[in-house]
């Protein structure tokens, strides 16, 4: 039996792994994709302490991964299909077999929210993208839209100006949600054109994007904006498939924990973007990963 299974190797899972390894817990860290989580699709991180000049998302998680591995954590590439959880027994069902564990940390993160409009699924990968850092370079000297008014939308819109000839930022209100510093940068960037009070209605194109249908929510006026790329940054949804029906979730589907990262089931902890909380940041994920591992260690001691 394992002491601890951690699901997800983003900043929360990697930090939990680091602390668990240093506590000499028999730990398995599972990741279905590349270690790093959503930070991998972040071009430049400016608000993680210790890097006054900023650091690339890739480098930051690579450093976290190497640090956890230095203390003995092995990241296993396995997809978890389900969990069998009771207060006494925890079974993690993966594509490579079952793992029984005393304690479990869910650090599965969050994924991109979709618009749910005509053309979106069909044109994903053919002009519709959820990651400017990944796909921006394909849009050199082309016109694109970035949808959303949060930190991600503004950061990514600014990144896209390195390639695109014009970035139309489409926001459904007349006020941005993002932190003021990013708002100032966006306002000062002449390649960005903000289209306020507007929602996208459909994405048109056959083999690629030709344009996007827009609707002004105040006037009701509809239009078609010719663009070659549509970048969607309208928030995240928790990767809660494993927790549904087993653990308490909030009304948006994030896993509810207490200050010790304990979920509604004893011995099961959650950390990082999957958690119900105030602030979704790398810095908060790291602290939660450390707390979850420490709380799991205390739980295992009394097992």
Contact flag: residue 149 with ligand NAP (CB under 6 A): yes
User: What are the respective helix, strand and coil percentages of the chain, to the nearest 5?
Assistant: 30, 30, 40
The CB-nearest residue to ligand NAP is: 150
Place of tokens 């925890």: 90
Question: Per CB under 6 A, does 280 bind ligand NAP?
Answer: yes
The piece of 21-29, 185-193, 230-238, 256-264 that touches ligand NAP (CB under 6 A) is 230-238
Candidate list 7, 157, 203, 234; residue touching ligand NAP; CB under 6 A: 234
Between residues 94 and 133, which has the closer beta carbon with respect to ligand NAP?
133
Asked if 197 is an active-site residue, the reply is no
Among 11, 109, 150, 211, binds ligand NAP (CB under 6 A): 150
Phi-psi region of 267 (alpha: psi -120 to 50; beta: other; left: phi over 0): left
Among 67, 76, 124, 281, binds ligand NAP (CB under 6 A): 281
Is there binding between residue 238 and ligand NAP (CB under 6 A)?
no
In the set 89, 96, 173, 266, which binds ligand NAP (CB under 6 A)? 173
Shortest distance in whole angstroms from residue 114 CB to ligand NAP: 9
Residue 172 · residue 232 · CB < 8 Å:
no
Q: Is 108 a catalytic residue?
A: no
Selected from 32, 172, 185, 191, the binder of ligand NAP by CB under 6 A is: 172
Q: Tell which residue, 2, 3, 6, has the closest CA to residue 78.
A: 6
What is the Cβ-side half-sphere exposure of residue 236, based on CA atoms within 13 angstroms? 22
- The least distance separating ligand NAP from the CB of residue 297, rounded to whole angstroms, comes to 29
Question: Cβ neighbours of residue 248 under 8 Å, at least 6 residues apart?
Answer: 255, 256, 263, 264
Among residues 55, 195, 199, 256, the one that binds ligand NAP under rule CB under 6 A: 199
By the rule CB under 6 A, 159 interacts with ligand NAP: no
Q: CB 92: neighbour CB atoms within 10 A?
A: 23
Binding mask 44-63 for ligand NAP (x = CB under 6 A): ---x----------------
How far is residue 89's CA from residue 56's CA, in Å, rounded to a whole number? 40
Total residues in contact with ligand NAP, by rule CB under 6 A: 21
Give the phi and the psi of residue 139 in degrees, each rounded to 5: -115, 30
Residue ranges with strand state E in the chain: 2-7, 27-31, 44-45, 55-56, 75-77, 80-85, 90-94, 97-106, 110-112, 128-129, 143-147, 166-170, 192-195, 198-204, 211-216, 222-225, 229-232, 236-238, 268-270
Residue of 152, 228, 257, 263 interacting with ligand NAP (CB under 6 A):
152
According to DSSP, the residues that pair with 203 across neighbouring strands are 212
Looking at 134, 174, 184, 250, which residue is catalytic?
134
In the complex, which residues of this chain contact ligand NAP (CB under 6 A)?
Answer: 47, 115, 147-153, 155, 172-173, 177, 199, 233-236, 279-281
Q: Which residues are catalytic?
A: 131, 134-135
């Amino acid at each position: 039996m394992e002491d601890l299974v951690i699901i997800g190797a983003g900043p929360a899972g990697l930090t939990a792994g680091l602390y668990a390894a240093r506590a000499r817990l028999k730990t398995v860290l599972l990741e279905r994709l590349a270690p790093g989580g959503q930070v991998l699709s972040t071009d430049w991180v400016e608000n993680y302490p210790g890097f006054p000049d900023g650091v690339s998302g890739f480098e930051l998680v690579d450093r976290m991964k190497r640090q956890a591995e230095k203390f003995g954590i092995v990241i296993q590439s396995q997809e978890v299909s389900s969990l069998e959880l009771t207060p006494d027994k925890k079974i993690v069902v993966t594509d490579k077999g079952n793992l029984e564990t005393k304690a479990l940390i869910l650090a599965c993160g969050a994924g991109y929210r979709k618009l749910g409009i005509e053309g979106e699924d069909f044109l994903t990968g053919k002009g519709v993208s959820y990651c400017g850092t990944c796909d921006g370079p394909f849009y050199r000297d082309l016109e694109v839209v970035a949808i959303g008014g949060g930190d991600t939308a503004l950061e990514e819109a600014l990144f896209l100006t390195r390639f695109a000839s014009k970035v139309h930022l489409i926001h459904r209100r007349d006020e941005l949600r993002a932190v003021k510093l990013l708002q100032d940068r966006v306002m000062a960037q002449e390649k960005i054109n903000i289209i306020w009070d507007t929602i996208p209605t459909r994405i048109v194109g056959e083999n690629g994007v030709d344009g996007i249908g827009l609707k002004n929510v105040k006037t009701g006026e509809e239009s078609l904006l010719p663009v070659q790329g549509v970048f969607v940054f309208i928030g995240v949804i928790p990767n809660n498939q494993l927790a549904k029906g087993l653990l308490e979730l909030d009304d948006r589907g994030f896993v509810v924990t207490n200050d010790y990262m304990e979920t509604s089931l004893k011995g099961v902890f959650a950390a990082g973007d999957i958690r119900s909380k105030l602030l979704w940041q790398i810095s908060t994920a790291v602290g939660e990963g450390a707390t979850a591992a420490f709380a799991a260690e205390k739980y295992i001691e009394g097992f």
